[in-house]
Amino acid sequence: MLKNYGNGYYVERDDDRCIRCEVCINQCTYDTHFFDSEDDVIISQDENCINCQRCVSLCPTNAITIRKKVSKYTENFHWKDESILSIKKQAETGGMILTGMGCDKPEFTYWDRILLNASQVTNPSIDPLREPMELLTFLGSKPDNLELEFEENKMSLKTELSPQLRLGIPIMFSALSYGAVSYNVHQALARAASESGTYFNTGEGGLDRRLHKYGKNAIVQVASGRFGVNPDYLDVGAAVEIKIGQGAKPGIGGHLPGEKVGPDISRTRMIPEGTDAISPAPQHDIYSIEDLRQLIYALKEATNYSKPISVKIAAVHNSAAIASGIVRAGADIVALDGVRGSTGAAPKIIRDNVGIPIELAIASVDQRLRDEGIRNKASIVIGGGIRNSGDVLKAIALGADSVYIATSALIAIGCTVCQKCYTGKCPWGIATTDPYISKRINPEIATRRLVNLLKGWSNEIKEIMGGMGINAIESIRGNRLMLRGVGLSDRELSALGIKLAGE
Amino acid sequence: MNWSNNQYDDDKVIDSCGLFGMMDVNGKRFSGKDPIKAMVNMRERGNGLGAGFAVYGLYPEYQDHYAFHIMYMDNLAKEKTEGLLKNNFRIILDEKIPTKEAKVWNPPILWRYFIEPKSSKYDQTLFDDFIVDKVMRINTETGKAFVFSSGKNMGVFKGVGYPEDIAEFFELKENKGYMWTCHSRFPTNTPGWWGGAHPFNILDWTVVHNGELSSYGINKSYLEMFGYNCTMQTDTEVMAYSFDLLMRRQRLPVDVISNILAPPLWSEIDRMSEKKRKLYTILRQCYGSLLMNGPFAVIVAHHGEMIGLSDRIKLRPFSAGMKGNLLFLSSEEAAIRSICPNLDKTWNPRGGEPVVGRLKEPMIEEIAIKRVMKV
């Protein structure tokens, strides 16, 4: 029997307030609370609590408070509880420590050390309530120049543009695979994307037939496991994304345990019920850049050159050179996922130690593509820890065309970032396939909340843009003069291509 | 370069300005009296830290030769530069640019040269590239020499002072041209550096500009991909290179260019007919990085053509007027009326709507494509 070291939380219950309604007991999927009918008291087993806040939110009398324990071991800056507990667990099991969501360490965030500009005197700011503010964004390859034809004083276009994605707001929902999240979540993402004029990424688990009607707003993913990839799937999506890597776990594959593979997921992923869905670390037909080119063109052929092809990589040390190769291999979109990128399950050691911050990756990739004169040939989409509209604009000013959000979207529908997605017991009904728990997400309400989030962010983006005196998002894209850094070294500033605040 | 255009090496030079352009579309040359008077009328738009004039049709007797106007900080720079000129060009005539006493600040050595490239194996476009290359070299290499005019049969005169003082200094009242573009500056962060005044010139192209581009960062990065080095950090430079890229290199017509620099709103594009919508959409998709966002009004000129344009939501004043064969473009209508009270027509062009004046009979064969944006 393994020792339960707990997660470092106390559950405090105000007994005067508790009415023994047992909501907490029913809601907790980790069996933290139980009712002792003899003593008429609800007791909580602290060590089971994961601090998901489900019981706290639903308690009708606000009787529950969850508190973080102070270190139970002697305080030590180097040997924190996390390190000590990990070792103890591994000493018992010989296993890897799993976790969910993105890296939670403080060191890798640059957003908070970057500031945006605004207009004063020499150019006027614009009031977005009274004047148009344009966020429309097109993703895909653009030519360097247009060819026009003139006949009898009439002009016509000779250039045909390759397929583009049209985004009403430069924010898309990042890959969340069916299986990692429930059907209801997938449905809400699809509906919200379609309502907001943007796109959701299916993730690597295919797209349930019931959601094919939202295909116009879907980016369908082709990953190393090829789950759910069939002609209909490719046909129904607006774009196809080849997933090479993921920011939370660069270089490693994925594993959906067999117990999560019920009838619907089995059908969608095209694997037998109850079998593990294992995504290999690499795509076994891509061992080099020329192999990637073959897959890009295989997908272009398969879709009759009617859809942009995206290639998603985790941001790693040499992502600038890799991105250049991807563009030259024919991709229309390069998707970069930074070290803070989220996941349903990953070894903690990988999540917290592999990859690079997305801010630096955007800057170096954008600059490299410009230096090579191929920036127009592909769009850059970035993801990995975008928390608010300020992060979105900073990413765009650093050189991204659009951003992917996933954690923010999940938070909008209930997630509290407790990092236990890998257990399949998500008390909020998000990262689970358990039919009983998944019902906790109401697709109608979740859709509304996602649409609201995008609307709120787009209003904020317009407000910031107006303040800068800019009325079209393309004038911010790659406009690093709109950014300044604080608390950064010269090397960091030059890597980001921005100046110090005050300069 | 401690005397560079932007000694503080800010992102870019911030300034505001007064513009004026006047053209006789029949090609009849007129003196500087009127343009100067119009600029005096807009004295408030400058602060004495820079003014300039471009005169087209100025040197008919040397119309086949490139006229270089060069400012030197010292005689050593002059010697060095003249060595470079002699190696690459036949110098037909060189002389001091005639000047007289006026209220101007610290004038440099001002010299002009009428020259032609030595090699005869080039055609016209290669000649132009050759000239551009040499101008860039002089401007960056010696550090104390600056070519501020390099076209044929035209000349730029500029310096630190109010427009009337610069005009007096260069005795412009006596000069004649069929087209004048004029500028006075209100810089907020530049020292009195003569090269920093406008018009900005390369070959026979001149740009006078009033504005503050919030999109400067991306405009600049985009142009850099095509080999343009924005060393002067001015919006005017970005504007000039954009016209060079789109008009000279990509040969796009003015109407298309104005829709790249100051495109209609998406809501307007959505209301267009299908064919038109497709064209306007593709323009924004491909050239989004050249959208000049933020306030600007600009007059771009080259032989035979004068183009006026303001930003898409018209955040800078810009008026036009006509009287007989004369076309006027100005920051202020009052300036036009001060020299021509009885205009046939006067109007305020809408944001993003270009005003184009063309010679009825072009004096020099040119590649500008004379079509309106009919789709």
pLDDT band at B186 (very low <50, low <70, confident <90, very high): confident
CB B148 within 8 A of CB B70: yes
Query: Which among B39, B62, B24 has a CA at the least distance from the CA of B155?
Result: B62
**Closest Cβ–Cβ partner in B285, B293, B313 for A161:** B285
Whether A121 is in a domain gets the answer no
Ranges of H-type helices in chain B: 33-41, 75-88, 124-141, 163-169, 216-225, 235-243, 254-261, 266-270, 274-287, 333-339
Q: For residue A127, tell me if it sits in a domain.
A: no
- Kindly report the number of other CB atoms within 10 A of residue A501's CB atom: 14
Instruction: Provide, rounded to the nearest whole percent, the portion of chain B with pLDDT above 70.
Output: 89
The predicted-structure confidence for B287-323, as pLDDT tens digits, reads as follows: 999 999 989 999 999 998 999 999 998 989 999 999 9
Please indicate whether residue B17 is annotated as part of the active site.
Answer: yes
Question: Are residues A43 and A192 part of one domain?
Answer: no
- Min CA distance, A136 vs chain B (Å)? 8
Phi/psi at B132 (5° precision)? -55, -45
B201-215: average pLDDT: 89
Q: Do B217 and A477 touch (CB under 8 A)?
A: no
Contact status, residue B177 vs residue B154, Cβ threshold 8 Å:
yes
Tally A–B CB contacts below 8 A: 127
Residue with tokens 């110090």: A500
CB nearest to B216's CB, from A474, A481, A499: A481
Asked if A60 and A23 touch (Cβ cutoff 8 Å), the reply is: yes
Same domain, yes or no: A186 and A332 = yes
Model confidence at B16, pLDDT cuts 50, 70, 90, reads: low
CB A124 to CB B288 under 8 A? no
B371 touches chain A (CB under 8 A): yes
Nearest chain B alpha carbon to A117: B214
Answer for the pair B178, B357: CB distance below 8 angstroms, yes or no: no
The total number of structural domains that make up chain A: 2
For residue B139, how far is the Cα from the chain centroid? 17
Q: State the smallest CA–CA distance between residue B326 and chain A in angstroms.
A: 26
What average pLDDT score do residues A55-67 get? Answer: 96
Range of A66's domain? Answer: 9-95
B11 close to A (CB below 8 A) = yes
Between chains, do A470 and B282 touch, taking CB under 8 Å as contact?
A: no
- A77 and A190 co-located in one domain: no
In a domain, A113, yes or no: no
Among A123, A150, A365, the strongest candidate for a mutation testing the B interface, having the largest count of B CBs within 10 A, is: A123
Q: Do A288 and A203 belong together in one domain?
A: yes
Nearest of B182, B345, B372 to residue B258 by alpha carbon = B372
- Per cent of chain A over pLDDT 70 is 99
| ipTM of the complex as predicted | 0.87
Please check whether residues A24 and A171 belong to one and the same domain. no
Q: What's the confidence (pLDDT) of residue B12?
A: 57
Contact A429, A57 (CB under 8 A): no
Is residue A24 over pLDDT 90? yes
User: Exposed/middle/buried for A31, CB within 10 Å: 0-12, 13-18, 19+?
Assistant: exposed
Q: Are strands A483-485 and A402-405 parallel, antiparallel or unpaired?
A: unpaired
The Cα–Cα gap between B97 and A91 comes to 88
A334 and A231 co-located in one domain: yes
Per-residue pLDDT at B6 = 47
Residue A378, CB-side half-sphere exposure with 13 Å CA sphere: 28
Cβ atoms of residues B315 and B294 within 8 Å:
yes
Query: Rounded CA gap, A180 and A185, in Å?
Result: 10
**How far, in Å, CA of B55 to CA of B59, rounded?**
9
DSSP string, B50-103: -EEEEEET--GGGTTSEEEEEEESSHHHHHHHHHHHHHHEEEEEEEEPP----S
Q: Residues of B with CB below 8 A from A159's CB? A: 282, 286
Q: Is the pLDDT of residue B8 over 70?
A: no
- Helix, strand, or coil here: A459? helix
A147 touches chain B (CB under 8 A): no
Asked if residue B4 has pLDDT above 60, the reply is no
Is A132 at the interface with chain B, CB within 8 A?
A: yes
Choose among A126, A132, A142: nearest Cβ to B265.
Answer: A132
Interface test with A, best of B219, B250, B285 (most A CBs within 10 A): B285
Smallest Cβ–Cβ distance between A375 and the set B225, B250, B313 belongs to: B225
Q: Are residues A211 and A314 in the same domain?
A: yes
Which DSSP symbol is given to B108? -
Task: Give B128-185 pLDDT, tens digit per residue.
Answer: 888 888 888 898 877 789 999 999 999 999 999 999 999 999 999 999 999 999 999 8
Distance CA B55, CA A458 (A): 49
pTM of this prediction?
0.91
Residue A138 distance to chain B (closest CA, Å): 7
Contact A468/B at CB under 8 A: yes
The string of DSSP codes covering A272-286 is -TT--EEE-SS-TT-
| B189 CB within 8 Å of a chain A CB | no
Whether residues A372 and A227 share a domain: the answer is yes
- Read off the pLDDT of residues B195-207 as tens digits, 9 standing for 90 and up: 888 898 988 899 9
HSE toward the beta carbon, residue A416, CA cutoff 13 A: 13
Peptide bond into A280 cis (omega under 30): no
Task: Give me the sign of the Cα torsion angle A81, A83, A85, A88.
Answer: negative
d(CA B17, CA B36): 15
Cβ of residue A260 closer than 8 Å to a chain B Cβ = no
In a domain? residue A179 = yes
pLDDT of B3 over the 50 cut = no
Asked whether residue A353 falls in the same domain as residue A463, the answer is: yes
Asked if the Cβ–Cβ distance from A142 to B286 is below 8 Å, we say yes
- Same domain, yes or no, for A365 and A443? yes
Q: How far apart are CA A96 and CA A104, in angstroms?
A: 18
Output the six-digit token pair for A327: 């563009």
Rg (CA), chain B: 20
The three-state secondary structure class of B326 is: strand
Confidence band (pLDDT; 50, 70, 90) for A139?
A: very high
The minimum CA-CA distance between A370 and chain B, rounded to whole Å, is 6
Please state, in angstroms and rounded to a whole number, the distance separating the CA atoms of residues A211 and A190.
7
Check which CATH number belongs to the domain holding A90 and give it. 3.30.70.20
DSSP annotation of B247: I
A212 within a domain of the structure (yes/no): yes
- Chain centre to alpha carbon of residue B220: 18
DSSP A323-337: HHHHHHTT-SEEEEE
Q: Is A120 on the interface with B (CB under 8 A)?
A: no
- B residues 214-233 near A, CB within 8 Å? 214-218, 221-222, 224-226
For residue A158, tell me if it sits in a domain.
Answer: yes
B75 in reach of chain A (CB within 8 A): no
The predicted-structure confidence for B78-130, as pLDDT tens digits, reads as follows 999 999 999 989 999 999 999 999 998 889 999 999 998 887 666 666 788 88
* A7: confidence class by pLDDT, cuts 50, 70, 90: confident
Q: Tell me the shortest Cα–Cα distance from A479 to chain B, in angstroms.
A: 4
Of residues A154, A375, A468, nearest to B375 (C-beta): A154
Residue B74 identity (one-letter amino acid)? D
- Residue B185 confidence (pLDDT): 86
CB atoms within 10 A of CB A325: 18
Structure confidence at residue B123 (pLDDT): 66
Give the active site residue among B17, B182, B230, B340: B17
What pLDDT is attached to residue B288? 95
Give the tokens for residue B18.
């007064």
Task: Look at residues B71, B61, B57 and name the one whose alpha carbon lies nearest to residue B27.
Answer: B57
Q: Which residues, at least 6 apart from A229, have a Cβ–Cβ distance to it below 8 Å?
A: A206, A220, A222
Distance of CA B295 to CAs A133, A277, A461, A480, B210, Å? 15, 56, 20, 19, 8
Q: Do B256 and A155 touch (CB under 8 A)?
A: yes
A71 & A212 share domain: no
| Residue A15, in any domain of the structure | yes
* Helices vs strands, H then E, count in chain B: 10, 18
The answer, for A484 touching chain B at a CB cutoff of 8 Å, is no
Query: Judged by CB atoms within 8 Å, which residues 409-438 of A form the interface with B?
Result: none
Task: Quickly state the pLDDT bin for B211 (edges 50, 70, 90).
Answer: confident
Q: Is residue A403 pLDDT above 70, yes or no? A: yes
Q: What is the DSSP string of B346-366?
A: EE-PPTT--EEEE-SS-SS--
Look at phi and psi of residue A172 and say left if phi exceeds 0, alpha if psi is from -120 to 50, else beta. Answer: beta
Are B230 and B224 spatial neighbours (Cβ–Cβ below 8 Å)?
yes
Residue A75 has pLDDT above 50, yes or no: yes
pLDDT confidence of residue B132: 84
What is chain A's alpha carbon radius of gyration, rounded to the nearest angstrom? 24
**A493, pLDDT greater than 50:** yes
The Cα–Cα gap between A143 and A132 comes to: 27
Dihedral angle over CA of A78, A81, A85, A87, nearest 10: 0
Which of chain A's residues have a Cβ under 8 Å away from the Cβ of B287?
146
User: Residue A157: what pLDDT?
Assistant: 84
Asked if A81 and A162 sit in the same domain, the reply is no
The whole-number pLDDT of residue B227 equals: 84
CATH code of the domain containing A401: 3.20.20.70
| More confident site: B251 or A421 | A421
Q: Tell me which chain B residues have a C-beta less than 8 angstroms from the C-beta of A154.
A: 374-375
Residues B251 and B369 sit within 8 Å (Cβ to Cβ): yes
Q: What share of chain B is helix, strand, coil (3-state, %, to 5)?
A: 35, 30, 40
Tell me, yes or no, whether A78 lies in a domain: yes
User: Does B270 lie at the interface with A, CB-CB under 8 angstroms?
Assistant: no
A159 touches B: beta carbon within 8 Å: yes
> For residue A372, what is the nearest residue in chain B, using CA coordinates?
B225
Q: Which residues of A442-481 are buried (b: 16+ CB within 10 A; e: fewer)?
A: ebeebbbbbbebbeebbebbbebbbbbbbbbbbbbbbbbb
- Rounded to the nearest angstrom, the gap between the alpha carbon of residue B94 and the centroid of all alpha carbons in its chain is 24
Check if B271 contacts A (Cβ < 8 Å): no
Residue in the block written with tokens 């993921």: A246
Q: What end-to-end distance do the CA atoms of chain A give, in Å?
A: 61
Q: Say whether A376 and B286 touch across the interface (CB within 8 A).
A: yes
| pLDDT tens sequence across A338-367 | 999 999 999 999 999 999 999 999 999 999
Query: In this predicted structure, what is the pLDDT of residue B361?
Result: 47
pLDDT for residue B80: 92
- For residue A481, what is the nearest residue in chain B, using CA coordinates? B217
Chain B CA closest to residue A133: B265
pLDDT tens digits, B340-372? 999 998 999 988 888 988 887 443 333 233 333
Residues of A (160-189) whose Cβ lies below 8 Å from B: 161, 164
Q: In chain B, what is the straight-line distance between the N-terminal and C-terminal CA atoms, in Å?
A: 48
Given CB atoms, is A471 within the 8 Å cutoff of chain B? Answer: yes
What tens digit of pLDDT does each residue of B233-279 get?
Answer: 778 889 988 998 998 888 898 889 999 999 999 999 999 999 889 99
Average confidence (pLDDT) over A416-422: 95
**HSE of A14, CA atoms in CB hemisphere, 13 A:** 10
Q: What pLDDT was estimated at residue B363?
A: 36
Q: Give the model's confidence band at A291: pLDDT under 50 very low, under 70 low, under 90 confident, else very high.
A: very high
